[in-house]
Amino acid sequence: MEGRSLFQSHMTDHRQWEHDSFSLRCCLCDHSTNQEAEMRAHAHTHLQGLLGAEAEPR
């Protein structure tokens, strides 16, 4: 059972490391996410602010 516990502990640590190691950060504010689609939507809010309501998402 010791080997299995060690493996589970390693995988928990690995998932945590993977989750924290990949992060997209907005260069205009302090927003960050690890989801590309969420960052695109967030960036669009900045674009709308600059261009007004005429900015359309792609």
For the chain, what percent of residues have pLDDT higher than 90?
A: 28
Taking residues 12-38, report their average pLDDT: 81
- Taking phi first (over 0 means left), then psi (-120 to 50 degrees means alpha), and beta for anything else, what does residue 23 get? beta
pTM over 0.75: no
For the chain, what percent of residues have pLDDT higher than 70?
A: 72
Tokens 């589970």 sit on residue? 8
Taking residues 19-26, report their average pLDDT: 75
Taking residues 30-44, report their average pLDDT: 91
Q: Name which of 9, 49, 10 is nearest 26 in CA terms.
A: 49
Give pLDDT, residue 12.
Answer: 77
**Distance between CA 14 and CA 34 in Å, rounded?**
16
